[in-house]
Amino acid sequence: MKKIFRSLLVLTAVLAISCAAPPEEAPPVDLAAEEAAVRVVVDQFGEMWETEDVGLAAQIFSQGPDLLVYGTDAAEVWVGYDLFAASLEEQFASYEDTEVTTRDQVVTVHSSGEIAWMREIADWHVTVGGERMEVNDMRVTGVLEKRDGAWLFVQMHVSVPVSGQIVAY
């Protein structure tokens, strides 16, 4: 009797699993459209500097504690949007006539359509205290996540290459 009961139990489970509705497939992701949307946000990063617009930063960066940004100076490590935004306000107050040009931009969108990463080379020209300064060939990389339909930076790293190898190989 126990064998019959177990067999019926197993048979019932198999039938229940086989009769269940198949999982719904996610609609296909238009990767070209997502890449174009990410490029708009990436380009707004340069625009943010030129217009000194902290409000634009709030639109393109995660405003949570998960944001991580590395700048070019050793002290420029911001974890969380509030610290990053405070630094932007301080920087914008001291900058004049900022110009950012970029090249070699590459944007890749994950097949899920929810994560993207980017890289580009940027030249940054700014006037500080009446003195024109420039930083060329900056390496900019970032990770963006699609949240509530909007692409936001969740991680960014900006570095300035040094000439020559630090360690020969």
Question: Confidence band (pLDDT; 50, 70, 90) for 29?
Answer: confident
Burial of 31 (0-12, 13-18, 19+ CB in 10 A): middle
Q: In what order do the strands lie in the sheet with 150-159?
A: 77-79, 68-70, 150-159, 131-147, 115-128, 95-109
Q: Which domains does the chain have, with CATH numbers?
A: 29-159 (3.10.450.50)
Q: Which pLDDT does position 18 carry in this prediction?
A: 58
- Mean pLDDT score, 57-74: 95
Question: Confidence band (pLDDT; 50, 70, 90) for 115?
Answer: very high
Kindly give the pairing relationship between strand 68-70 and strand 131-147. Answer: unpaired
- Mean pLDDT score, 90-114: 95
- Residues 118-146 have pLDDT tens digits of 999 999 999 999 999 999 999 999 999 99
Cβ pair 123, 138 in contact under 8 A: yes
Distance CA 144, CA 115 (A): 6
Amino acid at 86: A
Q: pLDDT over 90 for what percent of the chain?
A: 76
- Mean pLDDT score, 87-94: 94
As a whole number, the mean pLDDT across the chain is: 89
Cα angle 149, 60, 99 (rounded to 5 degrees) comes to 145
What residues contact residue 59 under an 8 Å CB cut-off, 6+ apart? 44, 150
Q: Which pLDDT does position 76 carry in this prediction?
A: 95
- Point out the least confidently predicted range of 19-28, 56-65, 153-162: 19-28
Burial of 157 (0-12, 13-18, 19+ CB in 10 A): middle
